[in-house]
Amino acid sequence: MFEVITCHNESISCLKLSGELDISTVEKFRLGIESIPETSTEVHLDFSCVEFVDSTSIGNLVQVMNQMRAQGVKVMVKRIPKEIYEVFDLLGIPELIGEEYFECLI
Amino acid sequence: MAKFKAKVNRNIISCRKKQQREAIFKVYKDVIYAVTQGKFLLVNVHEIYCYTDEGVKLAAVNIFTNKDVGLARQITRQVVKDVFPEYDKIQKILLCVSEAATNILKHAGPGQLIIKKTSDDSLRFIFNDHGPGIDIEYLPSMLFYKGFSTKTSLGYGFNLIYSIVDKMILSSSPNGTTVAFDIILE
């Protein structure tokens, strides 16, 4: 079970993700990303209700972040639960992309 | 007579190649075992049964489609809860199960997960497939470099499993692969 709720205003898009993100649900995440209007200059991915991630889903997230950054869009991953952030950390993602783009829930 | 000699020569070459492969396999096995301080064990297709036959079977999950990855996690969660209700680091076990099951689907096609209890405080997760196998030349990179994959994915999986589990056993041939890992639940 995985859901994406999107909310767009003029320049900022927010995507609230919930459920388990893996090989079977990553397509839904990509569809959510595709719904972001071209006018958005900033994207917030709210991870507070994400219950599981693995290297496949994080690999997709990194690809999306890199593509959007190349187009000049700032992507922030917000409210990451501690257990989920540990997986990001194990994979060295905050180091790779920049720690300032990842906000962990305490 | 000439045909007979050619056949004998082919047999000799084939035999030498087999001996060479076995010698290379043994070097890889010994070096990786030493470098990982006994944590990673590379075994041949005959030896793997010593490890897959051990213990009491608690559950089995067929991994045929992407949805089965979630099912494998769900069953793992239930098994750990039943056997070790106090265990609180389930997330990392689920991550290893997800990585191994996803690897099967990405690289090998259908496969199976078997969960066994091998001691009072240890579970063994055995993943079997009939895919094309892992070339042992890639093993050091798969184990020790983050982000390595022989396919065009981010492919952190193998390294991630290795970094979490207590022991890992691998047997691979062109007829399939068995990856088993032990987790001590303390």
C-alpha count within 13 angstroms, C-beta hemisphere, residue A1: 5
pLDDT at A106 > cutoff 80: no
Q: Give the mutation candidate from B90, B94, B142, B161 for the A interface (greatest A CB count, under 10 A).
A: B94
- CATH code of residue B149: 3.30.565.10
* B94 and B128 both lie in a single domain: yes
* B71 and B149 both lie in a single domain: yes
User: Which residue's entry shows tokens 């895919």?
Assistant: B131
Q: Are A51 and A23 in contact (CB under 8 A)?
A: no
* B108 and B177 both lie in a single domain: yes
Antiparallel, parallel or unpaired: β A42-53 and A12-21:
parallel
* B43 and B76 both lie in a single domain: yes
* B52 and B76 both lie in a single domain: yes
Cβ within 8 Å, pair B160-A90: yes
Say which residue, B10 or A28, is predicted with more confidence: A28
* B149 and B175 both lie in a single domain: yes
* B44 and B3 both lie in a single domain: no
Average confidence (pLDDT) over A45-52: 97
Q: Residue B147: what pLDDT?
A: 55
Average confidence (pLDDT) over A52-66: 93
pLDDT at B1 > cutoff 90: no
* B75 and B131 both lie in a single domain: yes
ipTM of the complex: 0.92
CA distances in angstroms from B171 to B51, B59, B106, listed in the order given: 10, 21, 18
pLDDT at B151 > cutoff 80: no
Closest to B180 measured CA to CA, from B55, B73, B70: B55
Mean residue pLDDT across chain B:
90
Domain count for chain B: 2
Average confidence (pLDDT) over B10-18: 83
pLDDT at B152 > cutoff 50: no
Average confidence (pLDDT) over B142-164: 70
Centroid of chain to Cα B142: 12
Task: Identify the weakest region by mean pLDDT among A11-25, A52-66, A85-99, B140-154.
Answer: B140-154
Facing residues of B116 across strands?
B57, B124
Q: What is the dihedral of CA A65, B140, A54, B90, to 10 degrees?
A: -150
Q: Does B108 touch chain A (CB under 8 A)?
A: no
Instruction: Give the range of the structural domain holding residue B28, as residue numbers without chain letter.
Output: 1-35
Task: Identify the weakest region by mean pLDDT among A32-46, B107-121, B138-152, B168-182.
Answer: B138-152
Residue of A nearest to B104 (CA): A23
Average confidence (pLDDT) over B38-53: 95
* B113 and B133 both lie in a single domain: yes
Average confidence (pLDDT) over B165-172: 96
Average confidence (pLDDT) over A4-28: 95
Average confidence (pLDDT) over A15-33: 96
Residue B153: pLDDT band with limits 50, 70, 90: very low
Q: Are B172 and B47 in contact (CB under 8 A)?
A: no
Structure tokens at B57: 């079977």
Q: Residue B146: what pLDDT?
A: 67
Closest to B32 measured CA to CA, from B168, B182, B124: B168
* B61 and B3 both lie in a single domain: no
- Chain B residues touching residue A66 (CB < 8 angstroms): none
Dist. CA A57–CA A23, nearest whole Å: 7
Q: Residue A101: what pLDDT?
A: 95
Task: Identify the weakest region by mean pLDDT among B62-66, B114-118, B135-139.
Answer: B135-139
Helix (H, G, I), strand (E, B) or coil at A60: helix
Domains annotated on chain A, with CATH: 2-104 (3.30.750.24)
* B48 and B16 both lie in a single domain: no
Over residues B25-35, the pLDDT tens digits come to 898 899 999 99
Q: Are A103 and A78 in contact (CB under 8 A)?
A: yes
Q: Does A73 touch chain B (CB under 8 A)?
A: no
* B27 and B71 both lie in a single domain: no
Please give the share of chain B, as a percent, with pLDDT higher than 70: 95
